[in-house]
Structure 1
């Protein structure tokens, strides 16, 4: 805060969580490459292990570099706190870990990253959890999918791969009515384009690997807690609202209030699951976030221009970019993503599966990789890669049909990218 006024996004993306190092005065957040931390005395150690004092014990739990990153992400998302972890997939598991138990389920959008669908539909079974997949444009179907064992609703702000925008306000209203949290994956939008907590989300998850870092160097994940959910309103969430045996009966919600989920994520989630983000990766991500707003503006400007050009190409059957006037999601852009519809979308080619694979192979500036959100423009054919493990019906529901190519538009010169697309489509 400055003179009582909230700091702007561009200021927070540089300064949030980044005070000068008290030992050296270093202005950039140092990489604290250490495993453990010396206690002042026995009482200090006992207080830390008993959650009676906040501090550093062991880097599986907390680390100053990683902590600075969590503070910055929480500030940008408008959350009460954040827990950073090793990947976006780890963030999803850690977000659900305090909420779930054998026999419990979540209601999830059909329009999700293919790896997420596999994690939810296959890996969850090993925990005794399950997921019901629903078209989130059908609000009645979402309501009907919720039962007494449902513990969360999960969706993406801008769905990967199709770039579809979710009506977060409508879904949040359903979650509130059922007394369960809404978890929103904000990876493809970033807090610059959308802050899901302002639309009713309880928890926000990120794959920091993508736009937040922006340079394709490290993997990372984060869970941001809104601090607004009443975990004690029902008996559905005993991990947060009931005594915790591992901490001599401590009640996380009663003790930590709005910070309950964040403290649980560190004291239980990172302690027992060990999905720790390393400090060097946190450092890279902190540096990447410093230019997030500028990069996202360029990503969006390029995507709008390229999507419009592709829509008029003879070889193209359709473009799913929500920023196009032809998109059925165009009315959600000013409501959910007022600064733009992101830079991820799909293109349907008239030549089908074979045409897609040839098109990808002929591109030169676009890199054929299993990633998105890089400064470089990226391309992939989901049906043969990221969504290969799904049935064709699941692929179509997820927006990854066999005739579909996913583009992640970078920050290069848009005309150069169009020229590359043009030569590849002609070839």
Structure 2
């Protein structure tokens, strides 16, 4: 009992200030002995108030104050995840509370403090959010609350044993947002644009009367002759096409932007894109590449595929070795018998790096529709827009412009061999990949 009492007792700054002031006053009484009685009265009052404060805080029972934490069973990577704290004051007097959360070590937040004041018998809810930037398990510790009475000379620590482990998955918040906007027909508010139909699908749907704006090349002359009105054929997008997201897990994907690595950006985009492809009726699959290891999740249009993809993406980690694209091309050639859309998430920081892998990319594009997605270095772009004041700034800008121009050269180099490419900032990856996919569907390339 005594041990728990001492572990829960903490003196406040107010107490130490008062004690220090009285000590100084005792020193002053050495020169003015008449004030010694006043100093003694001051120390007596302080002791009395301290004992009264201890009585108020510790004589109320074991649970005069409670705190509980409520949060989701899993977190979304790269997004703000809400956490709720419920505080209940069972004291008969108002208290001020300082809450110290034992947050997971991945956040490196050692000064996280919440302060609140509660009236007698009052219940309050505190909200805060955390943004993880790494996938994996996050261990939350206890919730420590330091309660003080209106006297404020000491405080009582109340510890809620609510430790828990939360798994951080790829950004399913983005997935929900896209699903919600898609359901309400508001994807354009997110930046997803419908593409005008340039080509024509060969999958017939039905015949309808001609209205202004219909393609006259679709006129059905036999139906027109029977009905006496212009009739046109209607086609639908081809479905059940195989679509694979190929994620490079080599060292080039370890580069961070705004806390997230390129691999995490690719994983978040893959999750959203796979869901949209399934909604379009296509079969989605996953290929991961690391060093000489190629893992393939076969494509399917089943509703359970999204859960399988989510669990598969959760465990992916970058490697320090360079990925083996020759192994990738050989494996895909031997496993995939049907022409598929391959969306390759990778990164090339120099033309030399692209040239090393170009023969294998050309081999893949010979049998499949290949879209190479690589990243624009936004930090270099910021340097190119800065105003140069010194010779060193000029050198830095010239080097940054050289690397930025080299990225555009890579796009032209890939297009020279008929390989589709997408150069995008990491923050806009999901949006640009979805728009590119809709464009390919509109052009009937898949």
TM-score (norm 2): 0.23
Looking at both structures, which has the greater relative contact order when contacts are Cα pairs under 8 Å and sequence separation is at least 6? Answer: 1
Higher-Rg member (1/2): 2
Higher strand share: 2
How does the TM-score come out when normalised to structure 1? 0.24
